[in-house]
Amino acid sequence: MSLELETEIAGNRKTWFLYMIRCNSGQLYTGISTDVTRRFSEHEAGKGAKFLRGKGPLLLMLQQPVGSHSEALKREAQVKKMSKVAKEQWIDQHTKSQTL
């Protein structure tokens, strides 16, 4: 996804993104941000979510524009309730659709 899309502004509101990171152990972390590139760099530097500290190298698996902060929070909660198998399938589907 392009940096332009990540920083897209709708009116005065920034677009929020849902992102998923894979840890070295294979665990998946789900988060939201208006700037996924910056947030991922913070995670790699050991800043931000304690869950990811010491679990590198990290791999950004997915980023998806969601809309408003409220919409992003709701989507994040939905994804966090999914099983790991369902998350993996969702990542595969999203990745395949990006390459078509």
Average pLDDT over residues 52-66: 92
Identify whether 65 is preceded by a cis peptide bond (ω within 30 of 0).
no
Q: Which two tokens stand for residue 36?
A: 């996924």
Tens-place pLDDT, residues 22-35: 999 999 999 999 99
Residue 59 has pLDDT above 50, yes or no: yes
**Structural domain boundaries of the chain?**
3-99
The per-residue pLDDT for 91 is: 92
- Domain spanning 3-99: CATH 1.10.1220: no
The per-residue pLDDT for 96 is: 73
Residue 2 has pLDDT above 50, yes or no: no
Please give the model's pTM, rounded to 2 decimal places: 0.81
The H or E element containing residue 74 is: helix 69-80
